[in-house]
Structure 1
Amino acid sequence: MASKRALGFSSTVFRKKFRAGMTVRNYRDNEVVFSQGYAADAVFYIQSGTVKLTVESTRRKNAIVAVLLRGSFFGEGCVGGQSLRISTARSIGPSNITRLQKESTARTLKRDPQFAGLFVAWAEMVGTTRARVSKFMNAFKKKGFVRYNGSLQINSGLIIAFLHSRPMSVVTKR
């Protein structure tokens, strides 16, 4: 993960850009920052520490979807129109986390193209890197969710079963 300095972020920059829309809080180990299903009303930034993002299926099975380090944003889906959290964020060890109100973040991104560019660059680095996409595609291929040889074929039955945590039938390999 990139550090905040590598992306040009600092506490001073945050204070100037967000003023009243920013709060900083220390979290203890395993403390919930936000919960899946609750209102998505802020973006968070890890000043120090680590955060784990998990999702819970309809059958109450949990999966870790990300472990984020110092210098990472999370919860940014609210700026893109997400009204509810799709994951739960928990601190791993003591963590110092900045909370940026959704409205303040959206205003800042519109008002400051340079900051918006840095924010987008960060999201691209951690959210959709070629290596990350490749890792997930290979995992899905091994589980039989997808096949690709020049084109992508999706086994929707297996994906739906996985998402709803129903028992899956055995898939024979060819």
Structure 2
Amino acid sequence: MPASDKSKATNRTGKSRIAKLGSTITTQKAGRKSSGRQSFDVEAFVTTVGVGRTISTYNPKSYIFRQGMACDAVFYIQKGQVELSVLSRQGKERVVGVLNSGAFLGEGCLAGQPRYLASARASTEAAVARVEKATLAKALNDHPALSQRFMAFLLLRNGQIEADLVDHLFNSSEKRLARLLVMLAQVGQEAELRPVAAPISQEVMAARVGTTRSRINYFMNKFRKLGLIEYNGDLKVHSSLLNVIIRE
């Protein structure tokens, strides 16, 4: 074979080897990329069944857990409304909170709390996920996205508890009721009439506000006559009710 032909054959062989090598490197890089860790789906974790995770549906007035039970899991409200209540040694029950979809409850177990300090009962039909303590603790440690969401909820709830305490210490029962209605209807600054998504009885309102049912009935009628609420079966709250809260 002439020298020029040998040189061409050698060049073709070299190019072929380089092409194969480049293909191999590309394939290896693609393989490494595809084997990377997938992003953690927070929503899927709290809304699907898995190891240490179950989902149950509760009818209105059904208990999710009761005060004094072993505190071994955290719950997440997927749908519906749940009220928290405390029973005194004298047998008096007081509603201390109402939580809606997207809220956690029973989180005290992560801090070593041995028993639930309150009872959780569905106010409406509710779908609630139960996550075992060990399962959630590991997930919070392994996945920052879940930790951030959980921390954001705790900070928001802590702020609400502080606001409730100030409300009870310094505001009249009329203002406390107005604040409760504004919160339930999620009223903003816009001039609008907003419905309360989940029904709430005057007994529950009285327990939340810290007064009697007769006083709640009196203030509800007063608010209705002033055009601040509509209360004919479905409860609707007007944004002007905010004026009752901020006035001296």
Whether TM exceeds 0.5 here: the answer is yes
* Aligned-partner SS, 1:67: strand
Q: Deviation of residue 19 (structure 1)? A: 2.7
The 1:43/1:136 distance shift into structure 2, 3 A limit, reads: same
Q: TM-score, normalised by structure 1?
A: 0.69
Match for residue 164 of structure 2? 135
Matched, 1:85 2:86: no
The 1:9/1:58 distance shift into structure 2, 3 A limit, reads: same
Q: Whole-Å Cα distance in 2 between the matches of residues 70 and 46 of structure 1? A: 5
* Aligned-partner SS, 2:61: coil
Return the structure number with greater helix share: 2
**Which of 74, 83, 86 in structure 2 is aligned with 1:55?**
86
* Aligned-partner SS, 1:128: helix
Q: Whole-Å Cα distance in 1 between the matches of residues 129 and 50 of structure 2? A: 12
Q: Whole-Å Cα distance in 1 between the matches of residues 167 and 98 of structure 2? A: 20
* Aligned-partner SS, 1:98: strand
Q: Deviation of residue 105 (structure 1)? A: 0.7
Q: Deviation of residue 57 (structure 1)? A: 1.1
* Aligned-partner SS, 2:90: coil
Structure 2 unaligned blocks of 5 or more: 1-40, 173-248
Q: Deviation of residue 118 (structure 1)? A: 1.3
Q: Whole-Å Cα distance in 2 between the matches of residues 103 and 45 of structure 1? A: 15
Return the structure number with greater strand share: 1
RMSD of Structure 2 on Structure 1 (CA): 2.1
Q: Deviation of residue 135 (structure 1)? A: 3.5
* Aligned-partner SS, 1:13: helix
1:43-67 Cα shifts (integer Å, max 9, x gaps): 0011111101000111111111110
Greater RCO, 1 or 2 (C-alpha within 8 Å, sep 6+): 1
Q: Deviation of residue 134 (structure 1)? A: 3.4
Is the contact between residue 109 and residue 116 of structure 1 (CA under 8 Å) also seen in structure 2?
A: yes
Is the contact between residue 15 and residue 22 of structure 1 (CA under 8 Å) also seen in structure 2?
A: no
Q: Whole-Å Cα distance in 2 between the matches of residues 61 and 68 of structure 1? A: 21
* Aligned-partner SS, 1:133: helix
The 1:15/1:96 distance shift into structure 2, 3 A limit, reads: closer
Is the contact between residue 46 and residue 69 of structure 1 (CA under 8 Å) also seen in structure 2?
A: yes
**Which of 16, 31, 34 in structure 1 is aligned with 2:62?**
31
The 1:31/1:9 distance shift into structure 2, 3 A limit, reads: same
Match for residue 148 of structure 1? none
* Aligned-partner SS, 1:116: helix
Q: Whole-Å Cα distance in 2 between the matches of residues 113 and 87 of structure 1? A: 29
Letter of the 1:49 counterpart: G
Structure 1 unaligned blocks of 5 or more: 1-7, 144-174
Q: TM-score, normalised by structure 2?
A: 0.49
Q: Whole-Å Cα distance in 1 between the matches of residues 119 and 133 of structure 2? A: 17
Match for residue 153 of structure 2? 122
Match for residue 8 of structure 2? none
Q: Which runs of 4+ in 1 moved over 6 A?
A: none
Q: Whole-Å Cα distance in 1 between the matches of residues 112 and 71 of structure 2? A: 9
Q: Deviation of residue 29 (structure 1)? A: 1.1
Q: Whole-Å Cα distance in 2 between the matches of residues 138 and 30 of structure 1? A: 27
Q: Whole-Å Cα distance in 1 between the matches of residues 133 and 85 of structure 2? A: 21
Percent identity of equivalent pairs? 30
| Count of aligned positions | 132
The 1:70/1:104 distance shift into structure 2, 3 A limit, reads: same
